[in-house]
């Protein structure tokens, strides 16, 4: 998506600071239904963004993309703005589907997020796509190991999760073709094949 932005980016101490900040924010959090530290997901998303040509701000936003939703709401967003600048905060804000606890109903949040993505900036779409691709790969790996038990981890269950990811593929593919959207489509198709009756 953003390959034209930068080719040879040099990560500075800002990226290191964001990584440390993300580790501190998510230190007690694990991936759904696993003992995998949550930071593994954030690193995976940042790696995909960098591989797609994103710049340092995009990679920092990738590290922090769940910080507001999972770790403090608007207060955390303001801290991100103060530490990492308006551009990073704007991307993170565009990736956040709720600021409140408890979270609103799952389907309503996902519908709003899909609608938002259709008109989101390229930077928000890039980080979102990296996030969804990393998540879809994890779902596929878990399905291969655990079968249908995988769906017990997800609020949307099997039907809702399959609907959400297929809809995301459609939204991202409307923006054109690139390695991440093509890979997301491949992974989602494999998930659908594994869950077909």
**Whether residue 85 is found in the same domain as residue 111:** no
Does the structure show a pLDDT above 50 at 22? yes
Q: What are phi and psi of 56, to 5 degrees?
A: -60, -40
In which domain, by residue range, is 120 found?
106-195
pLDDT at 8: 62
Contact 45, 18 (CB under 8 A): no
Token pair, residue 14, equals: 């800002």
Residue 157 lies in a domain: yes
- CATH number of domain containing 73: 1.10.3210.10
Respond yes or no on whether the N-terminal peptide bond of residue 92 is cis (omega within 30° of 0): no
Look at residues 94, 126, 144 and tell me which one is the last residue of a structural domain: 94
Residues 89 and 59 in one domain: yes
Q: What pLDDT is attached to residue 100? A: 77
Share of the chain above pLDDT 90, in %: 81
Q: Are residues 125 and 191 in the same domain?
A: yes
Pair of tokens at residue 6: 């930068």
Beta bridge partners of 32: none
Q: Which residues are catalytic?
A: 69-70
The per-residue pLDDT for range 29-86, each reduced to its tens digit, is 888 878 899 999 999 999 999 999 999 999 999 999 999 988 888 999 999 999 999 9
Query: Does position 9 have pLDDT exceeding 90, yes or no?
Result: no
């Amino acid at each position: 998506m953003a390959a034209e932005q930068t080719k040879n980016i040099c990560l500075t101490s800002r990226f290191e600071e964001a990584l440390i900040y993300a580790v501190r924010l998510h230190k007690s959090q694990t991936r759904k239904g696993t003992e995998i530290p949550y930071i593994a997901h954030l690193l995976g998303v940042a790696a995909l963004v960098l591989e797609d040509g994103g710049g340092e701000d995009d990679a920092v936003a990738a590290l922090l993309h769940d910080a507001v939703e999972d770790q403090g709401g608007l207060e955390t967003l303001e801290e991100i703005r103060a530490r990492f600048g308006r551009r990073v905060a704007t991307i993170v804000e565009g990736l956040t589907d709720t600021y409140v606890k408890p979270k609103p109903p799952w389907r309503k949040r996902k519908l709003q997020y899909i609608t938002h993505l259709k008109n989101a900036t390229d930077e928000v779409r890039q980080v979102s796509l990296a996030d969804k691709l990393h998540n879809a790969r994890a779902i596929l790996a878990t399905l291969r190991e655990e079968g249908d038990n995988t769906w017990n981890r997800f609020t949307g269950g099997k039907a809702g999760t399959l609907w959400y990811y297929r809809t995301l593929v459609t939204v991202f593919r409307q923006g054109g073709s690139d390695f991440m959207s093509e890979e997301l489509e491949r992974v989602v198709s494999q998930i659908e094949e594994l869950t077909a009756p």
